[in-house]
Amino acid sequence: MKKEIILSVMIGLSTLSSATTRADVQIIESSENIRYLSQNISSNYLLLFTNKNNIFAEKEIDQSIIKLTREFRNVAMTSKDTDTKDILEFLTYSKTEMQELLNEDINPENASLLLDFTETFLEGANSIEKDALYEFSAEEKMLSVTKDMLYLLERINKYYLAYHLGFNKEVNLDGLKNSIISFDKHQKLVNAYNYPYETKKIASLASLDWDVNKKILEKGEKLFIPNILKDLISNQKELVLKLNKYHTKNQ
């Protein structure tokens, strides 16, 4: 009888541990997605600031808000943490206010407000992720690296545009430089990873593209080419997305 009781408890603990692990993974994934979406909205809004007829940027913002709402819902349904739920409530309120702002005219004041909203989403995502306890495997770490690279590309584009459009120039220039350094570190991790032949070619091409893009970005104080940079970053994102899909399949 005692053995049966012990076995039952062990099975119960195992099931609980498994459920907790799945929940933590889901929260981490949603946090990573919220980080990316926050910067995607920022960079596309600043593109709209440079050209109010940019239909592509407007569509990107609409799609990102839909995805942002979904990620908030995912965290709300998964997390039992009181602090996380409080953060989500504030983020949801902020998103509603941001959507109202998006219906107004595009002007410097509204652009500054939108940048503040998206940084709030970023800070909220970081806080939510801290409550998720999960130790990544080597493959999962590389998946996280590629997700961070996608987020950093959007962040680079945001800082580049914000600097040249005159928003808090010193802060945005520092942000641009730090994001370039962070992406460079991630790219080196990709370069050192032992990919199979076909994926290695993608990683090598991503590295070559980044070498070119980094040189342009490092001249960011003097060189303002928003549409060209958007295309360069889009091409870089396509390569990183392929690496991301590889790690997703192999985790």
Which pLDDT value is given to residue 18? 44
Tokens read off for 180: 């370039």
Which is nearest to 153 in space by CA: 51, 40, 56? 40
Which pLDDT value is given to residue 14? 37
Taking the C-alpha atoms of residue 108 and residue 97, their distance in angstroms, rounded to an integer, is 17
Which pLDDT value is given to residue 13? 34
pLDDT tens digits, one per residue of 71-123: 999 998 888 888 888 999 999 999 999 999 999 999 999 999 999 999 999 99
What would you report as the CA-atom Rg of the chain, rounded to the nearest whole angstrom? 20
Which pLDDT value is given to residue 168? 83
The domain ranges of the chain are 1-135, 136-251
CATH for 136-251 is 1.20.1440
pLDDT tens digits, one per residue of 60-80: 999 999 999 999 999 988 888
Which pLDDT value is given to residue 223? 73
Q: What is the pTM of this model?
A: 0.86
Give the distance, in angstroms, between the CA of residue 55 and the centroid of all CA atoms in the same chain: 22
Which pLDDT value is given to residue 193? 94
Which option is the CATH number for 1-135: 3.40.50, 1.10.287, 1.20.120, 1.20.58?
1.20.120
Does 136-251 match 1-135 at the fold level? no
Low-confidence ranges of the chain (pLDDT < 70): 1-20, 131-134
Which pLDDT value is given to residue 63? 97
